[in-house]
Amino acid sequence: MGIKTLLGDTSKIAKIATIAIFLVLIRAISEPFRLQYYSKTILTYTEIKPFLIGSLVATIGLLTMAVLFYFGKYKIIIAACILTIIILLLVKKIYLIP
């Protein structure tokens, strides 16, 4: 199975995209725990707000992708993945997360 076969099969790309967004969700949820471990003070809502928003965006994207997967709309899943990543990058830019 070569690269051309993988790129031609939208269902496999949709599966990979779904797994990628799921990993993003896990990262966004676990990041405040990592920050708390290295912080000398208790984290405030303001400090974890970007990660909560990122988790919410990733969750909505993942739910959308899962529902679309049931209907076999693989190209729309790929577009939803790209849109979710763009929105996450916008959240990162708005809150100036390094």
**Taking the domains of the chain in order of start, what are their residue ranges?**
9-94
Q: Which of 18, 28, 38, 44 is nearest to 88 (CA)?
A: 28
pTM of the model: 0.85
Kindly list the distances between the CA atom of residue 38 and the CA atoms of 48, 58, 70, 98, in Å, as whole numbers in the listed order. Answer: 14, 25, 41, 16
Residues 43-97: tens digit of each pLDDT: 999 999 999 999 999 999 999 999 999 999 999 999 999 999 999 999 999 998 6
The tokens for 14 are: 């949709």
pLDDT given for residue 9 in this prediction:
86
Element (DSSP H or E) covering residue 6: helix 3-8
**Share of the chain residues as helix, strand and coil, in percent rounded to the nearest 5:** 85, 0, 15
Higher pLDDT, 9 or 18: 18
pLDDT average, residue stretch 29-42:
91
